[in-house]
Amino acid sequence: MSALPWYEDVSPGRGTLPPRAWYARSDASALSLNGDWAFRLSPTADTEDESFAAPDFDASGWGTVAVPGHWVLRGKEYGGPAYTNVRYPFPVDPPRVPTENPTGDHLRRFDLPADWPAGGGAVLRLDGVESCARVWLNGTELGEFKGSRLAHEFTVGHLLGARDNVLALRVHQWSSGSYLEDQDQWWLPGVFRDVTLLHRPAGSPGDFFTHAPYDHVTGHGTLRVECDVPGRVTVPELGLDLATGESVTVPVEPWSAEVPRLYEGELTAGGERVPLRIGFRTVAVENGVMTVNGRRVLFRGVNRHEFHPQHGRALDLATMRQDVVLMKRHNINAVRTSHYPPHPAFLDLCDTYGLWVIDEGDLETHGFEDLAWQGNPVDDPRWTPALLDRAARLVERDKNHPSVVMWSLGNECGTGAGLTAMARWIRDRDPSRLLHYEGDRSCADTDVYSRMYPPHAEVDEIGRRADEGPERRRELPFVLCEYAHAMGNGPGGLADYQRLFETYERCQGGFVWEWIDHGLVHPVHGYGYGGDFGEELHDGNFVCDGLLFPDRTPSPGLLEYKKVVEPVRIADGGPGTILVTNGHDVADLARLAFTWSFLADGETLATGPLDVPAVAAGASTRVALPVPPSHPAGAETVWTVRAVLAEDTAWASAGHEVAWGQIPVSGPATAPRSVTAAAAHPVRPMRPVHEAGRITLGPGVFDARSGALLSLGSLPVAGGARLDVWRAPTDNDEGAPWQPEERHGPLWRGLGLHRMRHRIDEITWSDDELTVRTRVAPAASDLGIRTTYRWSADGSSLRLGVEVVPEGDWRVPLPRLGVRLGLPAALDRAVWYGAGPGEAYPDTRAAARLGRWEAAVDTLGTPYLRPQENGARIDTRWVELTSRTDGVRVRGDRAFSFTARRWTTEQLDAAAHATDLVPGDTLWLHLDHAQHGIGSQSCGPGVLPAYRLDAAPASFSFTFGPAGG
């Protein structure tokens, strides 16, 4: 058979310059070639010949495409995006790719600016092209390359003219490189990062490497800038002026993610002055713990893919900055650039704002796992040059960023000699950082033990260094490069992980999977996910598993994470005091201001500043609270103490809340536990009155045959106020098919919890109570729940006591346990006293604080891209739902969860996209005694035992009265 075409051979390419350090700008001229390019799409690699690259080619019949961009996001006529997680979307026969290989020919004509310097040379830089490109300038072929998220450069000075230059690119969607880029994300071909022409003055640097270690014992930094040409390095702030290659040691302030101290410098060589941004820091493993500048660091991290709902992986600087600012505002201090080097400007932002970075190579071969790793490129020497090319392009481009503290070989490639070769190369080139790769459990090639999604118990064991495994591994620090799968509602169990990270010094934190939902704007569905763009093979909404919604609105999961990883802990310090613990890696508390407020029954009675000394990182202090203000006897009272930024920072203004704590003072007046009417709230018991098929009891009217509540005062009631145990399963309830543990979503549905029948056994009434005895059970099962409703009333309020007794051998927990009723949709405001302001479940409730909250009913829900259970408000004491003219207040004898939405659980469950949910004329109110936890089983562990809602006898009660009561 003839030789393979270049895009199918395993080589990384030819004609490119050696990789080198990236910098945003220097005083050398540069011309951005971003903008509208002429574009022609062909269905195969060879539909068209190469004559388009000739300077006189007439492309007037072509369309255009935006660079940077992905042509598949331009609409159906350009093909479409495709999402697969692990599976390759083409037959696996490396290095061959399908004949159907969408091919985009790109043309850009340009003149040199009038002030473009005459001498020197020029370089063409392409920062990212998926999946490969062949490049011509003015009809001369420059070469070709693979490696989508890596920069490639060509020498072009000798080919440039002052006017009418023609740059031609041929881009194939599939290449041998696609086998190395099987990351869990959309397949998005195109020239998706910048294209730039750079003037290279005579004698200017080809490459340079800034070395800036910090000695925390002496407080000195040592600076040495290696450069391939002689030059000088100046750092005015430090009074430094030295030759390249020379080293100097001076007292400096170190760089850290918390205090990102950068020194501005300059490298001058030949006719170019390149700005340097120097951060002094030393990364090490000492006694099995990772340190930076001698201090243990704790990663409060996220995995970040580059994503924009309209532009795919073509991100502008404003979006990158938005990501960084959002991370800083949510107490995130670390990013893993899953699973490829990001746009290089992102790392400048990490240096500036302060984030620890694991910079990952553009490498994943996960699709070979299902093939027992047969043919895996990382274990086949023919591919080693391509792997080494990827390692070098990662390290050389990004080596001057102080934020980068670890290099990661790639993700989910199994094991193989190719990875070892990459590790060797990287260690040799840059021994100043740690090496990361999760896929090799022997840790032979890594400096940290890294895992994804281990259960809490295993993290505990690893933390105690009680884990089995190779000797070398047991001496390494431990990180979770992925944990807490943020798909849909959740992740649950974050606080439980954080406790382990804060207990064991070996556990140095983790990186939540992942930062943002990859929902792409869709003409019908609002945001589309896998399968919405006509893919024949796809993995559905598994691509929507982020802490941000696609439009970058924080999800409840991000708010939870912010609270869980807050760097200051505020706790009860004993009578009249709080205990403040500084959990920062290095910063003291001087940048924070503290305030207190005193709440009685959710109302803030007084607030004031609180003096907290600037305790050092890792230290604690006890602080006295003021004398509590006078408050109503019997009120539930609580201190709220907040830590806010004392001054403006680059990422948030003064007053931005960083941490908070609540310290209860006196609990709610204890409510009677009995569910019998006599012992409970109604003070003047009323007598049920039976007339014309109706039973009237205070403000309640019931159907005499079914016991269903028909109205409450002036409000009609739908659905009867009946027991409800079903919730629209969350992605975490559904779990991932490969999970070894039981998955509750499928078990619940299998059992029929979504189609419970309510058998009426008996309706009786006495002088002061209406009793309805029922059995609630699914068809085809002998499991059931005996449910007794006891209604009683005084003049204006109606009380419901519910007793449940499960029957049969219940082996699965219940999704929820409560009642649901339908009220008029005109009730559009909610006010409640309980935990808020956002949604919360038993294992996602750290961010919910006690208070009095108010919201429009339409804002109570969370629009997860695949609709599912959402919007519960936990620990509610009472809730009021009101229209302009009417309203109802529900009080629980004990704290409960409430959920209010304009569609039923059945409608929620049936919806595939948020746009399927259309408000009806009923407001469905769920009053839950309890809900099952959320967990993280869409990719990680399920609900921890403490948060399970096991079927067990229970009783609970609610009192309905007029609003304002």
x/- mask, ligand GAL, residues 934-953, rule CB under 6 A, reads -----x--------------
DSSP lists the bridge partners of residue 187 as: 82
**Token pair belonging to 81:** 């995006």
> Which lies closer to ligand GAL via its Cβ, residue 85 or residue 955?
85
Burial class (CB within 10 angstroms; exposed 0-12, middle 13-18, buried 19+) of 286: exposed
| 603 given a catalytic annotation | no
Q: Convert 239-278 into a string of H (helix), E (strand) and C (coil).
A: CEEEECCCEEEEECCCECCCCECCEEEEEEECCEEEEEEE
Considering 8, 482, 566, 880, which one is annotated as catalytic? 482
Minimum separation from the CB atom of position 735 to ligand GAL (A): 13
Minimum separation from the CB atom of position 422 to ligand GAL (A): 18
The alpha carbon dihedral of 514, 297, 842, 663 has a sign of negative
> Which lies closer to ligand GAL via its Cβ, residue 342 or residue 838?
342
User: Could you write out the DSSP letters of every residue in 582-629?
Assistant: E--SS--GGGEEEEEEEEETTEEEEEEEE----PPTT-EEEEE--PPP
| 657 given a catalytic annotation | no
Minimum separation from the CB atom of position 478 to ligand GAL (A): 17
Q: Which of 383, 405, 163 is nearest to 284 (CA)?
A: 405
x/- mask, ligand GAL, residues 179-218, rule CB under 6 A, reads -----x----------------------------------
* Rounded (to 5) percent helix, strand, coil in the chain: 15, 40, 45
Candidates 452, 476, 721, 944: give the one binding ligand GAL (CB under 6 A). Answer: 452
Minimum separation from the CB atom of position 939 to ligand GAL (A): 5
Q: Name the closest residue to ligand GAL (Cβ).
A: 184
Minimum separation from the CB atom of position 514 to ligand GAL (A): 7
Q: Is 636 in the site for ligand GAL (CB under 6 A)?
A: no
CA distances from 639 to 597, 601, 849 (A): 6, 12, 11
> Which lies closer to ligand GAL via its Cβ, residue 16 or residue 411?
411
Minimum separation from the CB atom of position 260 to ligand GAL (A): 28
Minimum separation from the CB atom of position 412 to ligand GAL (A): 5
Q: Is 482 in the site for ligand GAL (CB under 6 A)?
A: yes
DSSP lists the bridge partners of residue 35 as: 67
x/- mask, ligand GAL, residues 325-354, rule CB under 6 A, reads --------------x---------------
Burial class (CB within 10 angstroms; exposed 0-12, middle 13-18, buried 19+) of 27: middle
**Token pair belonging to 604:** 């803030």
Q: Is 412 in the site for ligand GAL (CB under 6 A)?
A: yes
Which residues in 489-548 contact ligand GAL (CB under 6 A)?
Answer: 513, 545
CA gap 817, 360 in Å, rounded: 45
User: Could you write out the DSSP letters of every residue in 476-500?
Assistant: S-EEEEEES---SS----HHHHHHH
**Token pair belonging to 36:** 């509208």
Q: Which of 786, 724, 682, 706 is nearest to 925 (CA)?
A: 724
The answer to whether the peptide bond before residue 837 is cis (omega within 30 degrees of 0) is yes
> Which lies closer to ligand GAL via its Cβ, residue 85 or residue 640?
85
Q: Are 725 and 817 in contact (CB under 8 A)?
A: yes
> Which lies closer to ligand GAL via its Cβ, residue 220 or residue 451?
451
> Which lies closer to ligand GAL via its Cβ, residue 52 or residue 497?
497
Which residues in 71-100 contact ligand GAL (CB under 6 A)?
Answer: 85
CA gap 410, 494 in Å, rounded: 25
CA gap 661, 3 in Å, rounded: 67
Q: Is 637 helix (H, G, I), strand (E, B) or coil?
A: strand
Minimum separation from the CB atom of position 711 to ligand GAL (A): 48
> Which lies closer to ligand GAL via its Cβ, residue 28 or residue 487?
487
Q: Is 794 in the site for ligand GAL (CB under 6 A)?
A: no
Considering 272, 360, 364, 412, which one is annotated as catalytic? 412
Q: Are 847 and 562 in contact (CB under 8 A)?
A: yes
Size of the chain in residues: 965
Q: Are 193 and 128 in contact (CB under 8 A)?
A: yes
Minimum separation from the CB atom of position 940 to ligand GAL (A): 9
x/- mask, ligand GAL, residues 219-238, rule CB under 6 A, reads --------------------
> Which lies closer to ligand GAL via its Cβ, residue 127 or residue 545?
545
- Number of shown-chain residues binding ligand GAL (CB under 6 A): 11
Minimum separation from the CB atom of position 619 to ligand GAL (A): 37
Q: Which of 190, 440, 458 is nearest to 449 (CA)?
A: 440
Candidates 365, 411, 415, 420: give the one binding ligand GAL (CB under 6 A). Answer: 411
x/- mask, ligand GAL, residues 751-770, rule CB under 6 A, reads --------------------
Q: Is 132 in the site for ligand GAL (CB under 6 A)?
A: no
Question: Which residues make Cβ contacts (< 8 Å) with residue 774, sequence separation at least 6?
Answer: 707, 723, 758, 759, 760, 761, 786, 787, 788, 789
x/- mask, ligand GAL, residues 542-581, rule CB under 6 A, reads ---x------------------------------------
* Residues annotated as catalytic (active site), given as ranges: 412, 482
Question: What is the contact surface with ligand GAL in residues (CB under 6 A)?
Answer: 85, 184, 339, 411-412, 452, 482, 485, 513, 545, 939
